[in-house]
Amino acid sequence: MVNWLSRVVCVCIVCCLLLFDFSVEQQENILVLGEERIALIELRSSLGIRAKEWPIKKNPCTDWVGVSCSPSNSRVVEINISRFTRTIKGSQNPLFSVDAMQNLTALEAFNASNFALHGNIPDWFGLSFTSLQVLDLSSCGITGTIPSTFGNFINLTSLYLSDNNLAGSIPLSLGQSSRLSVLDLSKNSLSGDIPESFSSLRNLSSLDMSLNSLSGEIPPGIGKLSLLKRLNLSGNSLSSSIPFQLGDLSNLVDLDISKNSLVGPLPANFFASMRQIRFLVMAHANFSGEFPEILWSLPQLRFLDASGNNFTGRLPDVGPNVSFTGAIINLASNMFFGNLTTVIRRFSFVNLSANYLQGTVPDYARVNVSLSSNCLDNVPDQRNQRECSLFYSDRTPAISGKKNRNIMFWAVLGGVALSVLLVIFVVVLCVCLHKKGATEQRGTAEEPAPTRTNPQFPGVSLNFSILGNSFDYLQILQATGEFNNKNLIKHGHSGDLYTGLLEGEIPVVIKKVDFQSVKKEAYMVELDNFCKVPSHFRLVPLLGYCLEKDNEKFLVYKYMPNGDLSSVLFRNTNADDEKLHSLDWITRLKIAIGAAEGLCYLHHDCTPPLVHRDVQASSILLDDKFEVRLGSLSKVCVQEGDIHPRRFTRLLHMPQTSKQGTSGSPSATFAYDVYCFGKVLLELVTGKMGMSEANDASVKEWLNVIMPYINIYDKELVTNIIDPSLIIDEDLLEEVWAIAIVARSCLNPKPSKRPLMRYILKALENPLTVVRDTSSSRGSWNASLFGSWRSSSSDVVVVPEPTASKIEGGSWRTGNRRHNFIN
């Protein structure tokens, strides 16, 4: 037995020695990387990369997925974290935190496509990574602008920034990256002109700027990019006529200039040198004039879409003798006229609907030729007789003008036609204007957004890369214990809330939206809000969603350890003894300020400004440090009367009544939020929870009782209503008094007299300035204004103005005048 034991021990020791040996060897490998290894490890934790891809104990150069090092000096030359899944912790706050990379100055390729990096591209990118050749940041949820330091990427050959939320103009300096071969800025919100400096990018072979808001003229210098094979400018607001220099792009294979506001006819012989062109898209670009004849016979053409313009002309009378077939041509919604000709036999598919073709349809035009809404004889779905004769009579002089006819006859006919035309023109104009209004509305509703369309809701597109993880139904089931009742937090008005544990360890809150009881709209609005108002630290963090099921959708939020204000103000610390633990005043004030910050963000920092519409204690969620995260975002909508109503509100016909929070839907005004916030403030002061959720009648009754005790001239009165469980000394009493006064001003029965959220925030941050008035003329304010609640149409409180003001001896002033925010 002893013998056997000693043998086992021996084996163990040998094993240990071997292992030790091995780890020493590995240690050496790791040492080679030195400083850069530390940077990588920092990056690993700041981005939340999983041990599966980047095992911390292994050598990054050889064993980390997507990391490559230079064989000569072991410096990191490539990082490819494309499509990596972040750790749950990392995905909770997927920021663009890559500071650790600053030291990886030998980096040549960085690919983070489809990896959430919410935030701005750091300015130092262009300064640190001068050796960079490939940068792929597509679909990362990036915001902000393209840093002008990008011009320092002198060795850059490929730059992909597509499908983000980049705004602002394209920096001119980008024209300095003269080695660029691929530049993809598509699907962002870039505006301004296309920089003329792009004409220096002589090695460019692919330029994609589609689906942005670029305006102005296409720079003629683009015509100098002789290697260009692919040019996509679709879906912008480019205007004026297309520069003829673009016709020099003789290597173009794909050209897309569709969906712009270009002007007039194409330059003569524009396509004459573009012999390579295969895909040519110029639909809905506002072109007019003669259709370039050469487009009927470009040798490489496979796809031509020129629909929705005002091209005109007859089909050429040439036979199908060009050496190409299989191409598709779409000329729908133009003004082609005359007879069908054999030219259409050159294509395998032709769409000529909504033109003015006439005559009979030959047999060869009966397959794969779309001919609806023309003036043809023997096919269904044609324009009516009047429309057709109008169109042709309009042209008759031009068409048969060469023939020798009696001038007088034409003059008379012309006069008659003209007056008929005039009448019809007026009628058509009216109809058109009417229709235009409608299409314009639709136009903005479907404005190109850098988003994917949700098949569930055609027409509404959501940027899912911003919305966090997509969880599958099984994960949701497991997390909530199959929606076990003991995990149910409450039945909310926009869905049932459950607690859950994702992957058995991450606490989350899951909202189950059942379309049988909840309107789809509420859920869409909430998702849309998270898209539009990405991760502000005062809004509840969304971790992801599950859209798998048809009739039930799930939203997964970060778990808030302290629940919401309605449940936290008093809590049984110990179920056995009845003692209630109540929040101290400092925490209550912190919560008030936090909630005000959240509302301030919605009211004043969002464009367009948003109204929460569901401000109450249970919407104020609290994390472990009692930091406020506003929840219940399903009623958020645009401030009423906003000139740019949000896309979804129009789309979903959101109720926007102006009645103030009685029954039905709450009103969409700042003043309504302020009123509700006032009730929350009073709850904090009085400890009487439930009022912010109560119905109107009981609230009124409550306010009638309380208001007389809130008086700017009498601090002591307020002690009658203060929560008895608050322990307050003389200093704090003054703060409580101030907050009560702010609350009262929020509850002014006249919405127009309620202060703006930003003034409220300032007041909460400096409560004593509200009540301590040393300098100005409070005495002159009419004391009767502070009389009974019923007659209080105007209360007066001094509060700092946020701008142009500074703190002087603890109080905010605007010049010499204190800002009067309740009047």
Ligand X SMILES: *[C@@H]1O[C@H](CO)[C@@H](O)[C@H](O)[C@H]1NC(C)=O
Binding site for ligand X (CB under 6 A): 35, 39, 65-66, 80, 82-83, 99-100, 102-103, 111, 113, 130-131, 134, 136, 155, 158, 160, 178-179, 186-187, 203, 210-211, 232, 234, 239, 254, 256, 261, 263-264, 279, 281, 286, 288, 307-310, 318-319, 321, 332-333, 339, 348-349, 351, 353-354, 359-360, 367-368, 370
CA angle 546, 473, 525 (to 5 degrees): 20
284 versus 813: smaller Cβ distance to ligand X: 284
Residue positions annotated with a catalytic role: 614
Using an 8 Å Cβ cutoff, are 649 and 656 in contact? yes
Using an 8 Å Cβ cutoff, are 193 and 214 in contact? yes
Closest CB 40 distance from ligand X, rounded Å: 11
Helix (H, G, I), strand (E, B) or coil at 50: coil
Q: In DSSP terms, which residues pair with 546 in a beta bridge?
A: 554
User: Going along 197-355, which residue ranges are E strands?
Assistant: 206-208, 213-216, 230-232, 237-240, 254-256, 261-262, 279-281, 288-290, 303-305, 310-314, 327-330, 335-339, 347-351
Closest CB 459 distance from ligand X, rounded Å: 17
1 versus 367: smaller Cβ distance to ligand X: 367
Please count the other Cβ atoms lying within 10 Å of the Cβ belonging to residue 170. Answer: 26
Please count the other Cβ atoms lying within 10 Å of the Cβ belonging to residue 13. Answer: 10
Closest Cα partner for 139 from 193, 83, 91, 96? Answer: 83
Residue type, 440: E
The rounded distance, in Å, linking the Cα atoms of 250 and 590 is 66
Closest CB 790 distance from ligand X, rounded Å: 57
The rounded distance, in Å, linking the Cα atoms of 545 and 556 is 6
Which residues are CB-contacts of 130 (< 8 A; sequence separation ≥ 6)? 105, 152, 153, 154, 155
- Start-to-end CA span in the chain (Å): 95
Q: In DSSP terms, which residues pair with 255 in a beta bridge?
A: 231, 280
91 versus 203: smaller Cβ distance to ligand X: 203
User: Going along 623-672, which residue ranges are E strands?
Assistant: 628-630, 637-638
Closest Cα partner for 198 from 187, 211, 188, 183? Answer: 183
Using an 8 Å Cβ cutoff, are 325 and 350 in contact? no
What's the number of CA atoms in the CB half-sphere (13 Å) around residue 641?
5
DSSP string, 756-769: PHHHHHHHHHSHHH
